[in-house]
Amino acid sequence: MTKTTVSAPANIAFVKYWGARDLDRALPLNASISMTLDRCVTQCTIETLAGDQDEIWLAEPHGGFSAPGPEFQRRVRQQLDRMRQWAASEQRFRVATRNNFPIAGGLASSASGFAALTLAAAGALGRGDTPIAELSSLARRSGSGSASRSVLGGFVEWPAGEGDRASPAMQIADADHWDLRDVIAVVEIGPKAVPSLEGHRRAPTSPYFARRLELLPERLAKVRRAIAERSLDLLGPVLEEEAVDLHLIAMSSRPPIFYWAPGTVAVLRTVRELRQEGLAAWATMDAGANVHVICDAAAEEDVAERLESMEAVGFVIQDSVGSGPQTDDEHLF
Ligand code: DP6
């Protein structure tokens, strides 16, 4: 019985994937750009098993294992089937995953989870040396499109592709290029009300959806340039426009989706105050209530201290740009 363990990081999107031209194949309607995180990771151990059943476990933070819910099990089995088909193998597996950050709260747990699962399964199938572009496409097929970005470190663009053709994600700058920080204000823990998949499905019903698509080429160009020039002044406003538009579209979809909590608004207000006081800090959110505050290293401690002092904030995670997934020698079981 051989074991493979991979840790894969979460990522925070600067330009969001929201809306698909083919949801079953996770073909997006627009290109997205993200920063891969360093500390927020999912670890996945896969062991080959004799027999004809996969076993799927969640590793608990303080030891022990529990059985995940049926939807999670279904998606993991589906991805394992896809990986077996890809490798022309019948091999069954024992799989355990552990997240070191709150799951399903808009902190991209599916992206890191499916990136880790895909890479660990490729390793367990003896295909660990597959080119990263192919692994990115396999991670995307899990249904969590943003997982295609989490297989890479640094700053990552996932192009939209064209028609039937998907595109893998590509690194546009490595982790050492720009020392950005992500101070995450956790205002709500627990699964979000509506999964991203459903959000993508409803997005085109918003009257603002088409307008955002029109605005995106310019936003994407600005974000690419901001990264190339390491300019937070250029990046910051686009970050907030993108986050607000994502939620505007969600709130005006039919039926509407409200991801924000009261704490979300409180944190957004504090971020504005911090800027008025002279700190360059900019907010973004994925499909959840928690707020990622992007700033440079010099501002990080002040930003974290201020967010931590807020009643609305449960806790703060201080993260930075990570170099991508890694293979671990220590296994979860
Ligand atoms: C708002 O379909 O990749 O985070 O499976 O929940 O990770 P998950 O979602 P996915 O959509 C991502 C939606 C987003 C924006 C983004 O990360 O690009």
Please tell me the residue having the least CA distance from ligand 1 atom 5.
Answer: 144
Is omega for the bond preceding 168 within 30 degrees of 0, making it cis?
Answer: no
Q: In one letter, which amino acid is 92?
A: R
DSSP state of 113: H
User: Where in the sequence of the chain do the CATH 3.30.230.10 domains occur?
Assistant: 3-176
Q: In one letter, which amino acid is 264?
A: T
Can you say whether the dihedral through the CA atoms of 21, 194, 196, 5 is positive or negative?
A: negative
Those residues whose C-beta lies under 8 Å from the C-beta of residue 85, and which sit 6 or more positions away, are none
Closest ligand 1 atom, CA of 17?
Answer: 18
Here the tokens at position 313 are 């904030």
CA distance 107 to 251: 19
Here the tokens at position 37 are 């995180």
Which parts of the chain have pLDDT scores under 70? 1, 102-108
Here the tokens at position 198 are 């459903």
Q: How far is CA 98 from the centre of its chain?
A: 15
The reported pLDDT for the residue numbered 328 is: 97
> 3-176 domain in CATH 3.30.230.10?
yes
Domain 180-320 classification at class level: alpha beta
Closest ligand 1 atom, CA of 26?
Answer: 2
For residue 185, the CA-to-ligand 1 centroid distance in Å is 18
CA distance 327 to 129: 12
Q: Which of 160, 83, 178, 72 is nearest to 126 (CA)?
A: 83
Closest ligand 1 atom, CA of 147?
Answer: 3
For residue 197, the CA-to-ligand 1 centroid distance in Å is 8
For residue 119, the CA-to-ligand 1 centroid distance in Å is 19
For residue 1, the CA-to-ligand 1 centroid distance in Å is 34
pLDDT in tens, 14-70: 999 999 999 999 999 999 999 999 999 999 999 999 999 999 999 987 889 999 999
CA distance 258 to 250: 7
CA distance 68 to 180: 34
The reported pLDDT for the residue numbered 103 is: 62
Residue 37: φ, ψ to 5°: -85, 170
Within 6 Å (CB) of ligand 1, which residues are found? 13, 16-18, 32, 108, 110-111, 144-146, 196-197, 200, 246, 286-287
User: Where in the sequence of the chain do the CATH 3.30.70.890 domains occur?
Assistant: 180-320
Q: Which of 215, 230, 222, 11 is nearest to 113 (CA)?
A: 11
CA distance 282 to 293: 5
CB-neighbour burial class of residue 242 (10 A; exposed 0-12, middle 13-18, buried 19+): buried
For residue 42, the CA-to-ligand 1 centroid distance in Å is 16
Please tell me the residue having the least CA distance from ligand 1 atom 4.
Answer: 286
State the greatest distance between any 2 C-alpha atoms of the chain, in Å, as a whole number. Answer: 63
DSSP state of 203: G
